Structure 1
Amino acid sequence: MLSALNRRLNGLAKKLEAFFVESQGQRERLEKRLEEAQDRAEQEAICARAVGEGSRDGFLLLAGEEQRLCWWNGRFAQFGRFTENDLELLDARQIIQRVAWQFADSGRFMEWWLLVSGREQEMTSQTWALRQPEDGMARVSVFRVSNADGTPFGVMWRFEDRTEEARLQSLARDVDRAELIGNLTTGMAHEFNRILTQVVAEISALDQKTGPEDRAQTISYARAAAGQAAAICRGLLGYSRHHLMDARINSVGAILSWLKDQLADGLGPEHQIQIELPQKNMHVTADRERIRSVLLELCANSIRAMPSGGTLQVSAELLQIGAGQHDPADPEGNRFICFSVTDNGSGIPESIRSRIFEPFFTTDPRSNGLGLAVVSGIAWQHGGWLTCTSEEGRGTCMRVYIPASELPVTVVVEESAPPLEARRVDPVAVASAPASVAAAASNEPLVLVVEDEDGIRRLNQAILQRAGIASLGARSGEEGLALYQQHRDQIRLIVLDLNMPGMSGAEMFRILRSEGAFVPVIVVSAYLLDFDAFAMDFGARPAGFLQKPYQADQFLQQVSAVLAISPGSGQEVWARARA
């Protein structure tokens, strides 16, 4: 019995020994695997640090929901101007606050950091302007990092210096701008030289003309050439968005109906016109004459693209442009009327499609190349834009987007409403008119003309003289102020050019008002005038406005309207202003 118990104990001891040996082996194998895993982890960390330190970008790894500092590379420390001790002592928020000071708008960056830190998306990024250098840019990206099993680990921040890239892009824009200015200058020189050649030739021929009819015909030819120059100036102002607008609420259907009538009689049977009138009431707040000119120009281009005939389609639709879809700065989006002009003509070659909106760029020898440039400028000035879709050999679709009116009432459709046109100078009516010294000495009522261009000033004084209106002329703001102080009891009106060297007309207006001189002032400028903005800047609105170039009768009408007299001639008319 004892021997049997002994055998059982021996067998149990052998099993325990075998189990111990096996456990020891498993432990050794586990320790070896753990050691290998640690070696691999260390190697991977070394590789990650090597990659991070060798990168041109700064990296910052924040672990856990509490975003504790886990890892960073030298480029990040350099970007944030940290020392190694700084990063050891600061928490994540303090680190990001230090980083935020590297950006020009540090407050917005901190708001953005707080916003994206709480989001769940995989990655987001944004480009920021740096505080130093002044043209510096940096792109900051944030993306989630997960463990091998897919559980969240932390957030990786990446800081990319985009300064050199931004400088190259700016340089490319400068080159494009210089090329555009060069093309614009060349085009202007060509057009104005052509016009001046005709004007000079016609004026030179006046000496050889004997009969009044011949002289009148020569003057009309010179006037027509000057009108071409004025049209080019209006086109350039339209392209540059410096054109006076008469914006009112207009019916889209009425605009398209007018266009249909305009095109009905001017085309042959080879051209088919399809103008789709809107089924519902739609309105735009716009300068009706300018929108009409836009659609006419686009239709004319389409017709020229179909010399052998084709179909022209015009339509309009109301669109809701989503937030940021057209303008990234627009957070809400807006409603637009989209006018579409489509043809099945020759199309626009892809090689020149990007240049069709440049002023003076044209492939048509009969065109001055201002059409689409002006159309684009008009659309932009209305708060809209212009797009082009074209396929060579199949046709072109031009789309003009104009903000829709939110007020479907008080629609302007009457044909009698006069368009607000740009004024034109009559280049033939230039005459010499000295300052009315005798009138000034005899206490005659006076108009003070302040204009630095001698020819325009003499012309204006000659117009006034022929109307029986006495005037004084000044070449500058300083001279104008001196003459006003000397003859302030006689001066009933000032015609003031806003843009002059030295003291500008705007500064002279400010001084007059600050000194309590409330004499009526008609301001003159080549650019459009915003009366409300002018009143905010100078404390008062002008009595009238003339946009260069203008005609002699328009100048006299403005003066007469302000003085409350009719634009006749002779002392009996001017006598009404003396009372």
Structure 2
Amino acid sequence: MATIRILQVEDSALDAELVLGELDADGFDYEVLLVDDEQPYVEALETFQPDIVLSDLSMPGFSGQRALELLRARDDDTPFIFISATLGEEAAIEALRNGATDYILKQNPARLASAVRRALSEAEAQRAARRAESELIRAQRFEALAMLAGGLSHDLRNLLQPLLLAGDSLQDYADDPRLARLGALVRDCGKRGLDMVQSMLSFARGARRAEQVRLGGLLEALDLLLQGSLPRSIAMEVALDDPDLSFEGNHTELQQCLLNLCLNAIQAMPDGGHLRIASSRCRLPEDFFLPGEEPRDGEYLCLVVADTGEGMDEDTLERLFEPFFTTKKTGTGLGLLSCKRIVASHGGVMRVESRPGEGTRFQLYIPLTELRDDAAAQALDGDSFEGNAERVLVVVEEAAQLSLLSDMLDAYGYQVHTSQSGTAALQWIESHGVPEAVVMDAEMNLFTGVRTLAALVDHGYNGPVLLLARPDAPPNLDELPALDHLHVVNKPVTTRALLLSLRKALGSNEAA
């Protein structure tokens, strides 16, 4: 058993020694503080932070009942055992009702050691149960948040779609610089909004989404989040060797990890100090990795969060990543474990150095993997997005999106025909024949995109189809026959992505 802190409330030095002698005989490792008055008792609860209180019933100017009352006003978990020569049966029962853990008669102290062990064990079990309950509530809250985020993302994507298309269209007015600048602004706002939606979903659902993370942007966002939490007594230094460095990762998760480490560092410097966040690139030798860690070839990004705070001893360092272990009064003991899991999910490793009075230094090693730009990789030199007057049927329920898609395709040389429902699309085909390509929203309400597509196939259509769908909710294509030219395009779609996909679909159909 680890060293326990005992707060002993007793006015008789002899009786105090007799009590501690029982614990010595049973092999307890303890640190004790003896008090016999209210003021030093209250101060001891705050500064000594006992694991258990052993109290006499009555003392001159103070009482065990008052000591119990003061403890229970502070917390419900710390065990409190009465040790008295005058505690009658009725008084003992009343003490237990008021929150005492147990009582021992001074005339019969043999039961003391077992009572202390049981009380400490039960207190730890109560704390563990309370932590588990708290985490269950938190998990349920996050589950509700994930459901809310999923619903909001659908609506937000529909709102962002016109911004992306309108921004691209405005940028085509190269002869009017003002319109081109406005287009760039609208498009960038739409992309930023889309990134926020995707980050929100990633955070709420706990899913990793590969994205291009720019180191400078990551630290700029962190600086904004820390502005309201950084005391004036703490100086923060940010030293990045390459702010424009981009790598594959999850911006939200890494931001959460760095924020957690910085807040811990701030709390470790109550009297002020220096917080340093730095980055560098390095290669790690094979003997750097611990058992269970997977070495990877290539360069790593090393992110450092260092403080000049109180530091940690060896015992604390050994337990630092244990679930629910915390040195804070209100901590959950899950923050650093979450950081370690985030780094591991990026294929990286985490290290920590600390000494009491010398501060703490966390090092995060993230493998540098370039994220391939699929759209850019697909586009070859000399590619043209211009159409050749091909007839394209666009089927979208949202009027604003339908109008923007139609205008954009028309501007690039396609003959565009529009329908706001699956039934209207079928009626158009019956009247005008099959088109050369179909662009269709997968999430129509009355007659879904998949059902509409199945009906189009029944009407003889076998050309290319661009099915616009959310990446987190792909359409169920099981009810469709095998289609040779079906292309699923992620929503919200950009002008470039749509034109490139359409050009490829028409080209593959002609080749067939």
TM interval, shorter chain, is 0.3 to 0.5
TM-score, structure 1 length as denominator?
0.37
TM-score, structure 2 length as denominator?
0.41
Larger Rg belongs to: 1
